[in-house]
Amino acid sequence: MIQRQRIPFILMAVITLIGALWTGLVRVGWSLPGAATAPLNAHGPLMVAGFLGTVIGLERAVALDRKWAYSAPLLSGLGGLASLLVPTSVLGPVLLSSGAAAFLVVMLALSRRQVGPIMLIMCIGAVCLLVGNLGLVAGWPIYSLVGWWAAYPVLTILAERLELSRFVKISGGAFALLYGAIALALAGLVVGMSRPEIGVRMVAVAYLLMAFWFLRHDIARRRISQPGLPRFVAVGLLVGYVWLIVSAGTHLWVGAVTGGYAYDAINHSLFLGFVFSMIFVHAPIIFPSITGLDIPFRNVFYVHLGLLHISLLWRIAGDAWLWLPWRQWGALLNAIAIVLFFLATALTAVGAKVRAARGKAASA
Q: What span, in angstroms and rounded, lies between the C-alpha atoms of 58 and 160? A: 16
* Total domains in the fold of the chain: 2
Whether residue 229 is found in the same domain as residue 350: yes
Q: Residue 267: inside a domain, yes or no? A: yes
Closest C-alpha among 192, 208, 198 to residue 144: 192
- Same-domain check for residues 224 and 85: no
- Given 71, 103, 138, the domain boundary residue is 138
Instruction: Identify the band that residue 352 occupies on the pLDDT scale cut at 50, 70 and 90.
Output: confident
What domain range includes position 103?
1-138
Same domain membership, residue 241 and residue 116: no
Q: Pick the last residue of a domain from 138, 164, 181.
A: 138
Calculated CA dihedral for residues 100, 105, 107, 112, nearest 10 degrees = 170
Note whether residue 201 is domain-resident. Answer: no
Q: How confident is the model at residue 80, as a pLDDT?
A: 97
Residue 228 lies in a domain: yes
| Percent of the chain that is helix, strand, coil (3-state, to 5) | 85, 0, 15
234 in any annotated domain: yes
Length of the chain (residues): 364
Whether 361 and 241 share a structural domain: yes
Q: Does one domain contain both 246 and 131? A: no
* Residue at 181 is within a domain: no
d(CA 135, CA 204): 21
Please check whether residue 104 lies inside any domain of the structure. Answer: yes
In the predicted structure, residue 1 carries a pLDDT above the cut 50: no
Residue 344: inside a domain:
yes
Look up residue 326 and give its amino acid: W
pLDDT digits (tens, 9 = 90+) for 196-241: 999 999 999 999 999 999 999 998 888 898 999 999 999 999 999 9
Q: Quick one: what percent of the chain has pLDDT higher than 70?
A: 98
Buried b (16+ CB within 10 A) or exposed e, 205-236: bbbbbbbbbbbebbbbeebeeeeebbbbbbbb
| 118 within domain boundaries | yes
Q: What is the pLDDT of residues 63-103, one digit of tens each?
A: 999 999 999 999 999 999 999 999 999 999 999 999 999 99
Tally of CA atoms within 13 A in the half-sphere of 192 that contains its CB: 24
105 and 239 together in one domain? no
Cα separation of the two ends of the chain? 29
Does the structure show a pLDDT above 80 at 125? yes
Last residue of a domain, one of 99, 122, 138: 138
Tell me the pLDDT tens digit for each residue of 270-284: 999 999 999 999 999
CA distance 55 to 273: 18
CB 152 within 8 A of CB 48: yes
Nearest to 223 by CA among 240, 238, 213, 244: 238
Q: CA-CA distance, 117 to 181, in Å (whole number)?
A: 14
pTM (global) more than 0.85: yes
Give the Å distances, CA to CA, from 173 to 162, 187, 218.
15, 21, 16
Residues 133 and 251 in one domain: no
For a pLDDT cut of 90, what percent of the chain falls above it? 84
Verify that 99 and 238 share a domain, yes or no: no
* Co-location of 134 and 223 in the same domain: no
> In this model, does residue 329 exceed pLDDT 60?
yes
Q: What is the pLDDT of residue 364?
A: 61
- Does residue 60 contact residue 71 with C-beta atoms inside 8 Å? no
Using alpha carbons, list the distances in angstroms from residue 257 to 4, 105, 185, 245, 325: 44, 33, 18, 18, 22
Regarding whether 117 and 239 lie in a shared domain, the answer is: no
pLDDT at residue 361 tops 80: no
